[in-house]
Amino acid sequence: MDAPIVRNGRQHHAKVRGCKYSNVAAERRYTDAFQSTVIGTLTVLQPINNGGGHSVGIARMGGQLLHVDSMSMLLHDRVQRSCVDPFGSNNLFICLGVQRQSSAGNLCGLHVLAHFTKLPLSDKSPAEVAATNFDESRMRDHVFDCLQSKQIDRFPRLPIEHLLLLQHAAVAPEHFPTSLEIE
């Protein structure tokens, strides 16, 4: 069976098993028909560099397009162009109100990875996942641990008692409001 696989914004096609020779035109017609019925529900997680040294993420989950950005910037032109190939044009993006990265941080890519691991591994809604307070001090170590163990796991969160202490001191992690943006 031939099926499209979306990876890094490009479509790749799995080869048909058991066929030494294949008819490329017939395979392409089958893939296009398959793609038109399934691509709308396909889960796609796409990290994107916006061209200005900042990483954001676009995810398609359950037919919704989600924009993850730890600096809450508008969809940059380069990001919009990167979204047209895998998602098409004239889309409505839900910009998730995620945790703002710390001011001294260059953790934007890690925030994207943190949300990309939690979204599919959680039974919570995207808005509930966006409200997560990740422990930025442990993010880098977590990535290296996952790479060494070859296991994907959720990123560490701030303990609730630590979060309550931060909220009392009025220095809790800030979350951006969730909004809609049309590309």
- If asked whether residues 53 and 113 sit together in one domain, one would say yes
Question: HSE-up of 93 (CA within 13 Å, CB side)?
Answer: 25
Model confidence band, residue 29 (pLDDT cutoffs 50, 70, 90): very low
- If asked whether residues 9 and 54 sit together in one domain, one would say no
**Does residue 8 have a pLDDT over 90?**
no
- If asked whether residues 130 and 82 sit together in one domain, one would say yes
The domain total for the chain is 2
- If asked whether residues 142 and 80 sit together in one domain, one would say yes
For 99-149, give the DSSP string: BPPPTT---HHHHHHHHHHHHHH-SS-HHHHHT--B-GGGHHHHHHHHHHH
Structure tokens at 89: 């044009």
Over residues 58-102, the pLDDT tens digits come to: 888 877 788 888 776 666 677 777 777 777 777 777 777 777 777
- Coil, strand or helix: which one is 48? strand
- Residue tagged 């990167």 (tokens): 82
- If asked whether residues 67 and 121 sit together in one domain, one would say yes
**Does residue 125 have a pLDDT over 70?**
yes
With beta carbons less than 8 A apart as the criterion, state whether 98 and 115 touch: yes
- If asked whether residues 49 and 106 sit together in one domain, one would say yes
Using the 8-state DSSP alphabet, how is residue 84 labeled?
Answer: H
- If asked whether residues 114 and 130 sit together in one domain, one would say yes
**DSSP run (H or E) holding 168:** helix 160-168
- If asked whether residues 17 and 103 sit together in one domain, one would say no
Question: HSE-up of 34 (CA within 13 Å, CB side)?
Answer: 14
- If asked whether residues 139 and 92 sit together in one domain, one would say yes
Domain hosting 138: range is: 41-182
- If asked whether residues 19 and 45 sit together in one domain, one would say no
